[in-house]
Amino acid sequence: MRIVVTGAAGFIGSNFVRLLCQDAGHEVVAFDALTYAGNRHNLDGVLPPERIVQGDVRHPAEVRGVLEGADVVVHMAAESHVDRSIQGALPFVETNVVGMQVMLDVAREVGIRRFVAVSTDEVYGSLGPEGSFTESSPVAPNSPYAASKAAGDLLALAAHHTFGLPIIVTRCGNNFGPYQFPEKLIPLTILRAMRREPIPVYGDGSNVRDWIHVEDHCRAILRVLEAGVPGRVYNIGGGGERSNVEVVRAILKLLGAPESLIRFVPDRLGHDFRYAIDSTRLQTELGWERRWSFEEGLADTVRWYQTQEQWWRTVLSGEYRAYVAKQYGVVGG
């Protein structure tokens, strides 16, 4: 089976390709524009260079070039960082909405047999202290990132309804693990704590996310790919709820770094208070269970960043900073 994974050089994409390649029966092709978040080296030793195609989901000819002859698509390419979407939403609309439609059109044209659209719990908006998102919760996104992902999901489901395209949508909570770009809370905190640099916590740190180890997310996507029902949405996650300040304190403890590194900084605009996922459907219909506890996964992730200095020094290098400064007018990391 020939499987095309878009966004395969990013965080979740590269972990997913690693998982897929454990089964020699799969012919995997990685498709990625290699933006600031995409790193060819994330696939070193996993895929030969000829299986890594640099291309942009916004460009139909490039997408056609890689989808022709493919059986299955796992579409993960996206602009993925909420703070960047607040600074400028246009790249999010272009990649997450226009890019999705290009993927759908070409998938229909070439007769793709299964198309998994990887999405996020953030499309459901924000929760108060109680309750959790089910697949029938209203889609009510708040950030430009979440709105662009919701638009993409709805276009994908519309392609199923209208044309019978075999679409399955997954919506997962906050991931953490190896190869995550250090602009997101967990890797940013680990790298700053390792270097004893101040750690910015937005607002009072009470916002809650439902954390999941990336390997558990990838196993869920694989299960959905194998047995999910087209036209359906599957939530992924549950059981990993922590406030941001709890997450930061846990990392500081693992690294023996002082809590005095924490800096409470002005809150993110429109900051969603809480996400929590009900993944009963995935568990009961497809038999998925998470394997990592939050604590074990976090300790494993901290160890990974401690031993992968060359990786994070490269992604934080001048080239990346120059790209970010040009593209977004900010310096990340």
Contact residues toward ligand NAD (CB under 6 A) are: 6-7, 9-13, 32-35, 37-38, 56-58, 76-80, 95, 99, 118-120, 149, 172, 174-175, 181
Strands in 126-198 per DSSP E:
167-172, 174-176
Of positions 82, 147, 212, 222, contacts ligand TYD by CB under 6 A: 82
Q: Strand 208-213 vs strand 241-243: parallel, antiparallel, or unpaired?
A: antiparallel
148 binds ligand TYD (CB under 6 A): no
How far is residue 219 from each of residues 16, 110, 201, 238, measured CA to CA in Å?
8, 27, 31, 15
Give the whole-angstrom CA distance, residue 95 versus residue 100: 7
Q: Is residue 319 classed exposed, middle or buried when 0-12, 13-18 and 19+ CB atoms within 10 A define those classes?
A: exposed
Residue 52, binding choice from ligand TYD, ligand NAD, none, Cβ under 5 to 8 Å by partner class: none
Contact 270, 311 (CB under 8 A): no
209 binds ligand TYD (CB under 6 A): yes
Active site residue: 32, 56, 79, 122, which one?
A: 122
Residue nearest to ligand NAD (CB): 10
18 binds ligand TYD (CB under 6 A): no
Bridge partners for 54 per DSSP: 32
Instruction: Clarify whether 215 is annotated catalytic.
Output: no
Of positions 156, 185, 218, 261, contacts ligand TYD by CB under 6 A: 185
Give the whole-angstrom CA distance, residue 181 versus residue 85: 16
Closer residue to ligand NAD (CB): 149 or 160: 149
Instruction: Clarify whether 32 is annotated catalytic.
Output: no
Instruction: Clarify whether 272 is annotated catalytic.
Output: no
Give the whole-angstrom CA distance, residue 319 versus residue 325: 10
Residue 132, binding choice from ligand TYD, ligand NAD, none, Cβ under 5 to 8 Å by partner class: none
Closer residue to ligand TYD (CB): 209 or 223: 209
Least CB distance to ligand TYD at residue 243 (A): 9
Of positions 9, 63, 102, 188, contacts ligand TYD by CB under 6 A: 188
Number of residues that bind ligand TYD (CB under 6 A): 12
Active site residue: 36, 124, 145, 179, which one?
A: 145
How far is residue 68 from each of residues 47, 97, 164, measured CA to CA in Å?
19, 22, 19
Amino acid identity for residue 56 in this structure: D
Contact 267, 244 (CB under 8 A): no
Q: What does the binding site for ligand TYD look like in residue numbers (CB under 6 A)?
A: 82, 174, 184-185, 188, 200-202, 207, 209, 244, 268
Q: Annotated catalytic sites, by residue?
A: 121-122, 145
